[in-house]
């Protein structure tokens, strides 16, 4: 019984499902708190770095979207879930067995996709808009967009995954070149040995 419990706990930890659930809870709770306290929010959270700027975004990232709010809700829900599912399927098919690192990336992306999906499908009190509140314009004057915890999860998870894929491709390319070079050297040794035998026979 203890072995089964330990095995299940190990699987749960290594699957990083706990990370996805934790990030999703943080996103949902932070949005509800921001919405409930929107009238009394401190504008400046960290001087010269971070503002709390409550806003409702009916569109996608960087305010991109359609004029029809219903089309926005449906399209972005489908796109978010489709992209997240596509990433998981791609990694599973390409690498057969995922690593703890890639599982962490996938859970971050899934948590972000689900967090914003909840806004668009469940939050009638916000007119089914995504609740944004993080504003880095004090630190980055050129940055004019607000975002939320779910957006952060998606961006961080995607960047981590892209970096890992690039490093993995470089390692795979180097390994393949090393194998090809070794095979070429092996072929040259075989050819040179057979050539020597032929020369010896010709002398006789």
Point out the residues that are catalytic: 132, 151
| Token pair of 129 as six digits | 């808009």
Q: Are 105 and 164 in contact (CB under 8 A)?
A: yes
Residues 6+ apart with CB under 8 A from 174: none
Distances (CA, A) of 26 to 67, 118, 120, 190: 30, 13, 17, 63
Residue 168 to residue 109: CA distance in whole angstroms: 20
Long-range contacts, stretch 99-104, CB < 8 angstroms, 24+ apart:
100/14, 100/16, 101/160, 101/164, 102/161, 102/164, 103/14, 103/15, 103/16, 104/16, 104/19, 104/157, 104/160
> Which candidate, 146, 21, 169, places its Cα nearest to that of 94?
169
């Amino acid at each position: 019984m203890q072995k089964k419990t330990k095995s299940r706990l190990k699987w749960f930890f290594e699957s990083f499902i706990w990370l996805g659930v934790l990030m999703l809870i943080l996103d949902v709770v932070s949005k509800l708190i921001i919405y409930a306290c929107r009238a009394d929010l401190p504008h400046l959270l960290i001087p010269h770095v971070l503002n709390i700027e409550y806003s409702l975004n009916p569109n996608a990232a960087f305010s991109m979207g359609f004029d029809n709010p219903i089309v926005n809700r449906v399209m972005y829900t489908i796109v978010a879930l489709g992209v997240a599912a596509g990433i998981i399927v791609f990694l599973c098919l390409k690498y057969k067995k995922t690593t703890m690192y890639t599982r962490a990336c996938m859970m971050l992306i899934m948590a972000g996709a689900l967090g914003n999906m909840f806004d668009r499908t469940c939050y009638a009190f916000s007119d089914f808009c995504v609740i944004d509140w993080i504003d880095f314009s004090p630190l980055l004057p050129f940055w004019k967009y607000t975002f939320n915890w779910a957006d952060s999860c998606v961006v961080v998870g995607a960047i981590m995954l892209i970096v890992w894929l690039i490093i993995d491709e470089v390692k795979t390319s180097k390994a393949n070149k090393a194998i090809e070079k070794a095979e070429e050297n092996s072929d040259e040794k075989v050819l040179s040995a057979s050539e020597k035998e032929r020369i010896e026979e010709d002398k006789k």
